[in-house]
A and B are shown apart, each in its own frame.
Chain A
Amino acid sequence: MTHETQALTPAERIARDKEIAAQLPGTYLFDGARARMNYALNKMGMSLKHAANRAAFAADEEAYCRQYGLDEATTALVRARDWLGMVQAGGNIFYIFKIASIDHVTMQHLGAQQNSLTLEEFRARLNAYRAT
């Protein structure tokens, strides 16, 4: 495992951490660039912490997405509940999870779908870590 054995400059430290993150498979480092990529989607997700907004979303999703300024492509991802697509488009898992909660869907469902697995297959994969 990597340990920092000597003091690095901030630039060196940033470069190192970004390089490690960039090499991770299936990982979308939620840095400043990603936070700017689809601010509207995350803002819409955040708004769903209010029960009245959840009701408005449930009543008319398309109108709700328009109200928050989502573009057509992102609105389509929301409509399809395409969690991986939303993450790739700049969604932060904690904000978009509030959309999932309206459907009473768990994080395991999101994990399974992002891996193109059934829920049962995904749970089996999680449980297999017990042996490691």
Chain B
Amino acid sequence: MARIVGAMTTSHVPSIGIAMDTGITHDPYWKPLFDGYAPAKDFVRDLAPDITIVIYNDHGLEVFLDRVPTFGIAAAERYESGDEGWGPRRIPPFQGDPAFSWHLIEHLVADEFDLSMFQEWQVDHGFSVPMSIAFGGRSGEIAAWPTRVVPVVVNTIQFPLPQPLRCFKLGQAIRRAVQAWPGDERVLILGTGGMSHQLQGERAGFMHPPFDRMFLDMIGPDPEALTRIPLGTYMKEAGHEGAELIMWLVARGAMGAHVREVYKHYHVSASLTAAGLGCYVEA
């Protein structure tokens, strides 16, 4: 069976991608953040995943308000970085694994998670920035991605968002589906989004480091407690856009009951967003 060898969770702010793509990661503003990413890159390299399942939300590249999948999964041969309005990131395309994606789809739907299915799919910063953090050099530099990918999208734009507990359970179902795959692939879970931030309204610029630190402390040992925080409270404590932290719960659900935190990092801020990162293996 395929095995989930670890999880990394990280913020996915566009400006982190721009900082990498324009080579300013040593500038004083960005240096502390990118210095903090170095151990995570070592962690991912040592795990050597064959497949990476990326949990993220689309921000208006593939998904408009005309049709909003609450959960979706892509099964394409390859995924290009798309043009979100400021030109595509110039990074290599991502190689998919349609057979593995369809296996996940079959198992998740049989497990009563009715995800939308995509065969043509571009990825935005929510996907590509965490991939660059995990697999790229300091400035995201990479000749070819060393892993195949499966994009899993969660709606965090159009309320109602899925409940935190539902996100956690989706992760648990992903875990069962991975374990049912007959191959011996090593699978990394990449959870993205957050941490606290708000972009809209007069509350734009809101961040909340005490809440973020609590969340970082709890997600390893007691994720169930985080699933009992109401969505409204996520908005209150982490911001209207910070509610996307629910995607970390998908990633955590895909890990076993007990995990060991290998590394974490927290930095205020990447533009308007408090940037957090965690690396986990099964205990």
Interface positions of A (Cβ within 8 A of B)? 1-5, 13-14, 16-21, 23-32, 35, 39, 42-43, 45-46, 48-51, 54, 84, 87-88, 92-95, 97-98, 101-102, 106-108, 110-111, 114-115, 122, 125-127, 129-130, 132
Contact = CB atoms under 8 A, between A and B. Distances in A.
Given A17-B235, A49-B84, 10 more contacts: A1-B229, A4-B229, A14-B160, A30-B200, A46-B65, A49-B85, A107-B15, A111-B205, A114-B200, A129-B269
A101 B85 contact: yes
Interface residues of B, number: 49
B229 A30 contact: no
B236 interface: yes
A97 to B, nearest CB: 7
Contacts of B241: 93
Nearest to A28: B201
B124 to A, nearest CB: 9
B132 interface: no
B240 A30 contact: yes
A24 B85 contact: no
B82 interface: yes
Given A21-B232, A49-B61, A92-B65, A26 B84 contact: no
B202 A108 contact: no
A3 B225 contact: yes
A3 B15 CA distance: 33
Determine which residue in B64, B198, B229, B237 has the highest number of CB atoms from chain A within 10 A of its CB, and name it.
Answer: B64
Nearest to B202: A26
Nearest to A5: B228
A115 B205 contact: yes
Interface in B255-274: 268-269, 271-272, 274
Interface of B: 14-15, 59-61, 64-66, 82-87, 157-160, 163, 198-205, 207-211, 225, 228-233, 235-237, 240-241, 268-269, 271-272, 274
Give the 9 A-B residue pairs with the shortest CB-CB distance, closest first: A26-B202, A20-B232, A98-B85, A17-B232, A26-B203, A111-B204, A93-B200, A26-B201, A31-B159
Contacts of A130: 268-269
A53 B219 CA distance: 43
A50 B82 CA distance: 10
Nearest to B270: A126
A61 to B, nearest CB: 15
29 contacts: A4-B228, A4-B230, A20-B230, A20-B235, A24-B236, A26-B204, A29-B159, A30-B159, A31-B159, A43-B64, A46-B65, A87-B200, A87-B201, A93-B200, A93-B241, A94-B59, A94-B157, A95-B65, A102-B85, A108-B271, A108-B272, A111-B199, A111-B272, A114-B202, A114-B204, A126-B205, A127-B268, A132-B210, A132-B268
A95 to B, nearest CB: 5
B160 A31 contact: yes
B65 A24 contact: no
B268 to A, nearest CB: 5
A39 B202 CA distance: 22
Contacts of B205: 111, 115, 122, 125-126
Contacts of B269: 126-127, 129-130
A49 B240 contact: no
B19 to A, nearest CB: 12
A84 B268 CA distance: 24
